[in-house]
Amino acid sequence: MVSRKTSIHAFVTIGAALMYIPFLGSFHLFDWDEINFAEAAREMLVTGDWGRVQIAFEPFWEKPPLFIWLQAICMKLFGINEFAARLPNAIAGIVSLNIFYHIGRKHIGHFFGLFFVLAYAGSLAPALYFKTGIIDPVFNLFIFLSVYQWFLAELEVSNQNNARIHYLLFGLFAGLAVLTKGPVALLIAGIIAVIRLLSAGKNAWPGWVNLGIAFLTITITLGFWLGLETYKHGSWFLSEFLRYQIVLLQGQIEWHNQPWYYHFLVLFFLSAPASVIAFPFLFKNPATTAGNSSILFSYMRSLFWTVLIVFSIVTTKIIHYSSLCWIPLAFMAGYTLYSNYTKRYTISRWLTLPILLSMLPLAIFFCIVPFLLTVENRDILAPLLEKDIFAGKLLLSGDVWSGWEGIPALIFLIFLLIWCFQFALGMVKHTLALFWAVLLFSQYIYIIVLPKAEQQLQGPVISAIRANTEGTDPIVEAWNYKTFAILFYGNAQPSQFKGPWSKTANQDYPNEPAPNYTARKHWILNNPVSNPVKIITRCDYRADTAFLQHYKQISAPGAYQIWGKIIP
């Protein structure tokens, strides 16, 4: 007889697989992050060097290798393509939802576990997150598991039981998190451990032996990569990696700098409706919790506020930096659903207003934008984009949209308005239907909207890259704008990056992260080359006299221009 627990895990696994795996390869990877990581994985396969992350076949110290390894393994199995690049996160999504159910069922109850899963899967950005090719979903999973193990260790310590296995697992998961994204993992886990120590006292103190086990496990886990890297190549790579992490924390990457309230807005809009439904428990534990469940709530709240405050203080801000907050938000929203379902808590009708504020703009956006981007209606947008030549070309060229793409969003908008009206009047007592509707809405965005958006924004230039890299040893390069598509979709090979420029690259461009690649671009631009040469620029690139002496425009795909080398 199959137990209910096993049946639910099977149901969650099948449901998550149906959510996250289909359509992974239905459109190109997005520049920069998706293509960046996929290119690093491709170069691992091309070179056979799995010990060091590379871009343009030069050391790339911005990211550690674990996620790149996962992508490379998937590419080894399924080919070098978009599906393989995104598959590690889809698998992480399946694992994550099962872990959420397991934790919820174990510490509070079966139905809470299900509501925890629904609150995460049925919120907008979390529902899309595991269908991307970026690092953070796997990073968040390891961080969450490390914090959870510290929680389990505290329970054992408070009961005077042996907790060493949990401290060992904490060290393992924390180390894996560092290998996925960097030392910020230790910062987050360390702050939460200190918070618990200050609030719970001796019950949260691991003891020196257990603390040593945790640190030793972290060191051993990191040593499998950092130790081997340092042994083979010296400390240069490690020092550059740490220097870059400091640059990120100090906010020295100008285009990533945002105001302090940036992540508050990101969470409010992109993790709705969980961000609204969780609000009652963001500042205090529910009155209905006690014992272990109350401690778990304190951990979740600590995780939420630690991540939010740390990344609000740090000047460098990107949307996915606060994505770890989605897990505790879903936990607290799931408890609201659970308490409402078991009639222990009544969801306030006043939440109708923030639900509308968080979700109405996005619903309207997806209704209107496909209509405005059709050939027939572009004149409406044209005056707004006339001062930005590149944006105008980007959004107003091609024939991608038919207008019908906004119909599912319109249906969702009508549902949202009706549901909010009924909820405000007390005609609807729970919010389950809202989460299911958002889950379906997110699938519509991924299946219908994102492929069209990708084709609009970068489809023509990626097609041009593929077309111009066919033939006998062509050279295709981007000039005056940053892209990784040249490498990934151009199927770049190591031999293309070896030449006369390599001898002095480090001296000529000492401050560039990829001096050889930079030197190659300048060499191609200014020196005779026997291979066919194509240069891709944005349409707003103003070619100077020196450039025009060597190149002439031969085509203009979308918002980009392709220049060919003038042969004397």
Single pTM value for the model? 0.93
Structure tokens at 407: 């119909």
Coil, strand or helix at 22: coil
Domain end call among 383, 418, 450? 450
- If asked whether residues 16 and 97 sit together in one domain, one would say yes
Angle ∠(560,509,562) on CA atoms, nearest 5 = 15
- If asked whether residues 202 and 88 sit together in one domain, one would say yes
**Which residue segment(s) compose the domain that 369 sits in?**
352-450
What is the secondary structure of 84-122 as a DSSP string?
HHHHHHHHHHHHHHHHHHHHHHHHT-HHHHHHHHHHHHT
How many distinct structural domains can be found in the chain? 3
- If asked whether residues 406 and 475 sit together in one domain, one would say no
- If asked whether residues 164 and 306 sit together in one domain, one would say yes
Over the stretch 543-559, which tens digit does the pLDDT of each residue have?
888 888 888 898 888 88
- If asked whether residues 336 and 391 sit together in one domain, one would say no
How would you write the pLDDT of the chain (568 residues) with one tens digit per residue?
A: 668 889 999 999 999 999 999 999 999 999 888 999 999 999 999 999 988 899 999 888 788 999 999 999 999 999 999 999 999 999 999 999 999 999 999 999 999 999 999 999 999 988 889 999 999 999 999 999 999 999 999 998 888 888 899 999 999 999 999 999 988 899 999 999 899 888 877 777 888 998 999 999 999 998 888 887 777 777 777 777 777 767 666 654 544 567 778 888 999 999 999 999 998 888 888 877 777 888 899 999 999 999 999 888 877 667 888 899 999 999 999 999 999 888 888 888 899 999 999 999 999 999 999 999 998 888 888 888 888 889 888 888 888 999 899 999 999 999 999 999 999 998 888 889 999 999 999 999 999 999 999 999 999 999 888 887 766 567 788 888 889 999 999 888 888 888 888 888 888 888 777 888 888 888 887 777 777 788 899 998 988 888 888 888 988 888 899 988 877 6
Q: Is residue 87 part of a domain?
A: yes
Q: Is residue 493 part of a domain?
A: yes
What pLDDT was estimated at residue 426? 87
- If asked whether residues 134 and 204 sit together in one domain, one would say yes
CA proximity to 274, closest of 138, 426, 121: 121
- If asked whether residues 262 and 400 sit together in one domain, one would say no
CA proximity to 224, closest of 257, 176, 162: 176
287 touches 319 (CB < 8 A):
no
Domain end call among 450, 482, 503? 450
200 touches 168 (CB < 8 A):
no
- If asked whether residues 399 and 507 sit together in one domain, one would say no
Who's near 323: CB < 8 A, 6+ residues apart? 125, 126, 129, 136, 137, 140
- If asked whether residues 205 and 288 sit together in one domain, one would say yes
314 touches 249 (CB < 8 A):
yes
- If asked whether residues 396 and 490 sit together in one domain, one would say no
Domain end call among 345, 366, 398? 345
Over the stretch 367-401, which tens digit does the pLDDT of each residue have?
999 999 998 888 888 888 888 889 888 888 888 99
Q: Is residue 522 part of a domain?
A: yes
Q: What is the DSSP letter of 257?
A: B
Question: How far does Cα 366 stand from its chain's mean position?
Answer: 21
What is the secondary structure of 487-545 as a DSSP string?
HHTTT--GGGG-SGGGGGHHHHSTTSSSHHHHHHHHHHHHS--SS-EEEEEETT----H
What pLDDT was estimated at residue 436? 95
